[in-house]
């Protein structure tokens, strides 16, 4: 089993969350979105701009040396300016990214579990997300109880009820 631990995301993790946002967009080897281009896109940058504002929460995975290797976080978007996985007002939208060499080692699943707990503790009833249909992570989300509620040609918006 991989050697890593989890900790709550802090304000100082903003840059790393940006890195993980890029990792999430580069889910396939054939994709190569560079950080500067991703963060320059307002539709992408909104997932980290002003981190950590009220209502934001997340978890960071760090390796045995304490270096960050993955992150999962959520934030709430207003109805007049929804994110790509927007479901409805008040439902936080989740983002998950793991450094490529750490994928398929349980990091993403453990990050997801930790954020589900955080969301419950903050009183949220559901979380939503947007994922490309071909992204391997879509299988993780299905296995962890996320249900597709909006089906687009190449992507899904999924929701997870928190009990």
Per-residue pLDDT of the chain (163 residues; tens, 9 = 90+): 579 999 999 999 999 999 998 888 776 555 566 656 666 777 778 888 889 999 999 999 999 999 999 999 999 998 888 888 888 899 999 999 999 889 888 999 999 999 999 999 999 999 999 998 888 899 999 999 999 998 888 889 999 999 7
What are the residues whose beta carbons fall under 8 Å from the beta carbon of 43, sequence distance 6 or more?
Answer: 84
Q: Please tell me the predicted confidence (pLDDT) of residue 32.
A: 63
In a domain, 143, yes or no: no
Please tell me the total count of domains within the chain. 1
What are the residues whose beta carbons fall under 8 Å from the beta carbon of 119, sequence distance 6 or more?
Answer: 57, 74, 92, 127, 162
In a domain, 87, yes or no: yes
Q: What is the SS3 assignment for 120?
A: helix
Dist. CA 59–CA 111, nearest whole Å: 6
Q: Please tell me the predicted confidence (pLDDT) of residue 117.
A: 97
Q: Please tell me the predicted confidence (pLDDT) of residue 38.
A: 65
In a domain, 149, yes or no: no
In a domain, 129, yes or no: no
What are the residues whose beta carbons fall under 8 Å from the beta carbon of 104, sequence distance 6 or more?
Answer: none
- Smallest CA-to-CA distance from 124 within 47, 46, 56 is with 56
In a domain, 70, yes or no: yes
CATH number at residue 19: 3.40.630.30
- Check whether the bond before 104 is cis (ω within 30° of 0): no
Q: Please tell me the predicted confidence (pLDDT) of residue 22.
A: 85
In a domain, 148, yes or no: no
In a domain, 23, yes or no: yes
Q: Are 111 and 98 in contact (CB under 8 A)?
A: yes
Question: What is the span of the domain harbouring residue 31?
Answer: 4-124
In a domain, 156, yes or no: no
Q: Which helix (H) or strand (E) holds 23?
A: helix 14-25
């Amino acid at each position: 089993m991989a050697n890593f631990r989890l900790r709550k995301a802090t304000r100082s993790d903003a840059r790393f969350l940006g890195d993980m946002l890029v990792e999430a967009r580069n889910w396939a080897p054939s994709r190569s979105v560079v950080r500067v281009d991703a963060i320059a896109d307002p539709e992408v940058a909104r997932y980290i701009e002003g981190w950590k504002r009220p209502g934001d929460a997340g978890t960071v995975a760090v390796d045995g040396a304490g270096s960050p290797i993955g992150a999962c976080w959520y934030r709430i978007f207003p109805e007049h300016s929804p994110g790509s996985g927007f479901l409805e007002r008040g439902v936080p939208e989740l983002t998950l990214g793991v450094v490529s060499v750490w994928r398929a080692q349980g990091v993403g699943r453990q990050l997801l579990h930790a954020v589900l707990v955080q969301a419950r503790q903050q009183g949220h009833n559901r979380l939503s997300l947007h994922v490309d249909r071909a992204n391997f992570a879509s299988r993780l989300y299905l296995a962890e109880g996320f249900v597709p509620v909006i089906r687009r040609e190449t992507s899904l918006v999924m929701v997870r009820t928190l009990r």
